[in-house]
């Protein structure tokens, strides 16, 4: 096999191994029917039980990758053994890296983009605003890119930056997908080119 073909099939293996385990959160909730309860993508989302549930769903999709990753690992192994070894090696590198990354987040380091604590905090803010005295008389907490704000009186209710929430993204087709791959679902505010 020529060098170029080798590099090509290694890269292809890496790409597939990188994207496949991320499929659940990249695709599962992007269809229109899933998002009727929420305003379209770049807009702020009002806090509601649906939003809390969405955070928990995204969390589930995120961890679902640990099941999906078995596929590229198995295909990669078979490829190295019986098929195109460079392709299989690429698959292994990318999906093995994914696996290490996820296991590391179980032990410590950066928390996943969606956590149970996040859902709990949203629900606590919502309950506080609804049932005890909130920031103003017509409290309406919205999750904006940099945190939770009351749109009525502009007070900041939480510092939690908003991760991707599984809505269909407003960018044109390949760009939203690429952006998601790059950010891995984490809030975009940490990336310097984000404007909203
Ligand atoms: Zn307020």
Q: Split the chain (196 residues) into runs of 10 and give each run's mean pLDDT.
A: 89 94 89 88 92 94 94 94 92 94 86 93 88 80 92 90 91 85 81 44
Is there a contact between 26 and 105 (Cβ–Cβ < 8 Å)? Answer: no
- The structure's pTM equals 0.86
What pLDDT shows up at residue 190? 53
Distance 130 CA to ligand 1 centre (A): 11
| Cα(152) to centroid(ligand 1), Å | 5
Cα–ligand 1 centroid distance for 144 (angstroms):
14
pLDDT of residue 63: 93
User: What's residue 15's pLDDT?
Assistant: 94
155 C-alpha to ligand 1 centroid (Å): 6
Which pLDDT belongs to residue 56?
Answer: 95
Distance 169 CA to ligand 1 centre (A): 28
Q: What is the pLDDT of residue 191?
A: 45
CA of 44 to the centre of ligand 1 (A): 15
């Amino acid at each position: 096999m020529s060098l170029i073909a080798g590099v090509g099939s290694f890269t292809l293996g890496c790409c597939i191994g990188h994207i496949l385990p991320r499929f659940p959160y990249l695709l599962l909730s992007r269809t229109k029917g899933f998002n009727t309860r929420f305003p379209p993508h770049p807009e702020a989302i009002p806090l509601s039980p649906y939003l809390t549930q969405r955070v928990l769903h995204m969390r589930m999709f995120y961890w679902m990758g640990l099941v999906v990753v078995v596929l590229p690992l198995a295909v990669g192994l078979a490829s190295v053994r019986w098929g195109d070894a460079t392709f299989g090696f690429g698959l292994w590198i990318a999906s093995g890296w994914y696996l290490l990354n996820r296991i590391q987040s179980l032990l410590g380091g950066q928390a996943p983009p969606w956590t149970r604590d996040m859902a709990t905090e949203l629900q606590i803010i919502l309950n506080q605003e609804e049932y005890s005295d909130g920031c103003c008389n017509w409290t309406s907490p919205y999750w904006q890119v940099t945190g939770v704000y009351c749109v009525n009186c502009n007070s900041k209710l939480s510092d939690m930056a908003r991760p991707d929430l599984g809505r269909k993204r407003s960018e044109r087709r390949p760009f939203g997908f690429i952006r998601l791959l790059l950010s891995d679902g984490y809030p975009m505010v940490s990336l310097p080119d984000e404007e909203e």
